[in-house]
Amino acid sequence: MMMDFGNRWLKRWPWWWVAFWAIWFLYFSWFWTHAFWNDVAGNIVAGHINIWGDWAAHFTMGSRFAYVSLSDLASPFLIDQRLSYPFITNWLAAVAIRAGVPFISSFVILSWLGSLAIVAGLGWWYQVWFKSKATTIVATLLFLCNGGLGFIWYLNDVFKASQPWLAILNPQHEYTHLDSAGLRWMSVIDSMIVPQRAFNLGFPIALALLILIWRWERGTAWTRLSKRTRRWQLGLRVMVGLGWGILPIIHTHSFLAVSCILAGWAVATMPTKSAQIPAWFYRWAAIGVPAVLVATPLYVYFFAAHTTRHFISWYPGWYATEYGENWFWWWFKNWGLVPALAVVGSWQWLQWPKKDWWRRACWIAPFWTIFAAINLFLFQPYIWDNTKLVVWASVGISGLAAGWLTRTWQRWWLPAHGWLAEIFRASKLTLLSLIGLSLFAAGALDAYWVLRTDLHSYTLYSAEEWQLAEWARQETEPRSRWLTSDQHNHWVYNLAGRQPMLAYRGWVWTHGYDYQGIEQDVRTVFANPVAHRDILERYDLDYVVLGPTELEEWGARPAHWAQVGTLINQTENYSVYRLK
């Protein structure tokens, strides 16, 4: 009996299937345990450029919730403004900090769990969709290791190197992000999973919601369910609708993608008989109504004031236009043959059963709709942010391409008769293998690059700044207002959770704030606070920090500030003045 159980387990969970998921578990576990460290001088070092660049904003939100109030929804980026960002992931980190988890560890642990949830969610999604372990593995690889022709630049670097073996093992840079070559559709691991904490939480939640709806709508027909099962499922649909509705403050782009996908799926399940329409309406209303009731006030409160007509703009071609290149050529460089294979895979998907081809089209059309939309519009002021929607197009496109690849491989793998036929079959399989390898070679190189933190590390905070932040948390009022430079990794708002007059301008711009007036006031008062005390009073400022960036970039002069404030802390590089 034990042998039968073991055989059944191995059939359901073959070693190669277990090994694939175990590798991803070890991959992300290794990375996140090496994402931050203290150097010999006590500085906080980040092992990835995108963590150094992006996590400062997340630290700013998390420290605000942790050290001021969990219910404080004021913007930590711009004075006297409302928070306009999907903040839940950083709110959870703040809860962990308040529970005693070390500051950086609270963020790292949640990102590690989110990374694993993304991989598990992809496996679940593709297995439910294709019911094939081979297709699930290939689709997951295509999604996580997306890339185009960047591996050609890698090979070129290896051939030109004086020591090729060292060049093979030590890539010079990323190969899905190479500005000089027009490569900007970056590896999902490199550009989304590692730096984008909102994505790390919102994407697996959104995937889980979609999987549940997919299984309900493509499973047992509604009319065949018992009344009790229908009631239970309606209740679960309401819960899914509530989850969908809260997505705007978890990950806004996932909310937009799920909304587009579910619109297509609702059409796909629309009955042709009028007598069945009420039941169809109730099923989808159970999901849609709670979503609208929750999402609408969240959108109005957090985003409506900033999402103006200038926030979303017509920009056909996306990065192809930015580089002045042909659309098809740019996408081929950046994504290889994946979109083309997905087109063939879509045709394959529509073939069976032919009588329901339009319904099957509606199941996959939303992914192509999202792909078309990002090629026509910018959905945030910063052009790169369209990537946050491209990943959702990739969920479907990677799956369709993988479906074609695995079905073609299985068909070509069938035994041939005669030595010429065997040679032809082997040639086809070799060609298909090379095509498959080219689809994720660049992404795999960047996945390896991510792990090589010894090749790229960046000081995020000095020991001096870390100690100053601790001092500020203990010795200054939680709701005090500070005048600082807009350095993106400034300790005042990153680590102490204090309100700056103006944080990093890149953040407030991409979030849609109208900040130019405040920026001018910051510039004016830094130049001469004695003559512009009215600005200090208007914004009710409590402290000013004079550090390297305040002195060099904003023209602050200590002699001026000594006339309007009292020096309360001075270190090697920073002076802090109390203004009241």
Q: What is the DSSP string of 255-286?
A: HHHHHHHHHHHHHHT--SSGGGHHHHHHHHHH
Instruction: Tell me what pLDDT residue 51 has.
Output: 96
- DSSP summary character for residue 174: -
Instruction: Please tell me the distance from the alpha carbon of residue 485 to that of residue 55, in angstroms, as a whole number.
Output: 18
**The token pair that represents 507 in the structure block:** 């953040």
Task: Outline where DSSP puts E strands in 159-269.
Answer: none
Residue 44: how many other CB atoms lie within 10 Å: 19
Band (pLDDT 50/70/90 cuts) for residue 440 is very high
Contacts of 152 (CB under 8 A, 6+ apart): none
* Residue 187 near residue 146 (C-beta atoms within 8 A): yes
The three-class DSSP label of residue 82 is strand
* Residue 176 near residue 150 (C-beta atoms within 8 A): yes
Average pLDDT over residues 58-81: 97
Instruction: Tell me what pLDDT residue 10 has.
Output: 60
Instruction: Tell me what pLDDT residue 400 has.
Output: 98
Instruction: Please tell me the distance from the alpha carbon of residue 143 to that of residue 124, in angstroms, as a whole number.
Output: 14
* Residue 318 near residue 385 (C-beta atoms within 8 A): no
Burial of residue 411 (number of CB atoms within 10 Å: 0-12, 13-18, 19+): exposed
Residue 9 has pLDDT above 80, yes or no: no
Q: Using N-to-C axis directions, what is the helix angle for 15-33 and 133-144, rounded to 10°? A: 20
**The token pair that represents 140 in the structure block:** 């997951």
pLDDT, averaged across the chain? 94
Band (pLDDT 50/70/90 cuts) for residue 223 is confident
Instruction: Please tell me the distance from the alpha carbon of residue 57 to that of residue 503, in angstroms, as a whole number.
Output: 9
Instruction: Tell me what pLDDT residue 13 has.
Output: 82
Average pLDDT over residues 157-165: 93
Instruction: Tell me what pLDDT residue 227 has.
Output: 87
70-74, Cβ contacts within 8 angstroms, sequence gap of 24 or more: 70/94, 70/95, 70/98, 73/302, 74/499
Kindly report, residue by residue over 75-118, the tens digit of the pLDDT.
999 999 999 999 999 999 999 999 999 999 999 999 999 999 99
Instruction: Give the angle subtended at the CA of 287 by the CAs of 118 and 256, to the nearest 5°.
Output: 50
Q: Using N-to-C axis directions, what is the helix angle for 419-451 and 387-412, rounded to 10°? A: 150
Q: What pTM was estimated for this model as a whole?
A: 0.95
* Residue 366 near residue 265 (C-beta atoms within 8 A): yes
Give the residue extent of every domain in the chain.
2-116, 143-451, 462-578
The three-class DSSP label of residue 299 is helix
* Residue 245 near residue 294 (C-beta atoms within 8 A): yes
> What type of residue is 94?
A
What's the per-residue H, E or C state across 524-563? HHHHCCCCCHHHHHHCCCCEEEECHHHHHHCCCCHHHHHH
Residue 338 has pLDDT above 70, yes or no: yes
Among 46-60, 150-164, 221-235, 537-551, the least confident range: 221-235
Nearest of 389, 420, 467, 404 to residue 191 by alpha carbon: 389
Backbone angles phi and psi of 80, in degrees to 5: 60, 35
Nearest of 318, 451, 446 to residue 386 by alpha carbon: 318
Specify the higher pLDDT residue, 228 or 402. 402
Instruction: Tell me what pLDDT residue 545 has.
Output: 98
Burial of residue 128 (number of CB atoms within 10 Å: 0-12, 13-18, 19+): middle
564-569, Cβ contacts within 8 angstroms, sequence gap of 24 or more: 564/529, 564/530, 564/533, 564/536, 569/468, 569/471, 569/475
Instruction: Please tell me the distance from the alpha carbon of residue 171 to that of residue 169, in angstroms, as a whole number.
Output: 6
Instruction: Please tell me the distance from the alpha carbon of residue 440 to that of residue 546, in angstroms, as a whole number.
Output: 48
Contacts of 499 (CB under 8 A, 6+ apart): 64, 74, 76, 79, 479, 480, 481, 482, 493
Average pLDDT over residues 270-285: 92
Instruction: Tell me what pLDDT residue 5 has.
Output: 47
Instruction: Tell me what pLDDT residue 2 has.
Output: 47
Instruction: Please tell me the distance from the alpha carbon of residue 74 to that of residue 534, in angstroms, as a whole number.
Output: 23
For the CA atoms of 395, 400, 404, 405, the dihedral, rounded to the nearest 10 degrees, stands at -10
Kindly report, residue by residue over 458-469, the tens digit of the pLDDT.
999 999 999 999
Residue 491 has pLDDT above 80, yes or no: yes
Contacts of 182 (CB under 8 A, 6+ apart): 319, 323, 325, 330, 333, 334
Instruction: Give the angle subtended at the CA of 551 by the CAs of 546 and 557, to the nearest 5°.
Output: 80
Band (pLDDT 50/70/90 cuts) for residue 413 is confident
> What type of residue is 52?
W
What's the per-residue H, E or C state across 406-443? HHHHHHHCCCCCCHHHHHHHHHHHHHHHHHHHHHHHHH
Instruction: Please tell me the distance from the alpha carbon of residue 116 to that of residue 113, in angstroms, as a whole number.
Output: 5
* Percentage, residues of the chain above pLDDT 70: 97
The three-class DSSP label of residue 386 is helix
Burial of residue 510 (number of CB atoms within 10 Å: 0-12, 13-18, 19+): middle
CA-only gyration radius of the chain, Å: 27
For the CA atoms of 362, 367, 370, 376, the dihedral, rounded to the nearest 10 degrees, stands at -90
Contacts of 527 (CB under 8 A, 6+ apart): 554, 555, 556
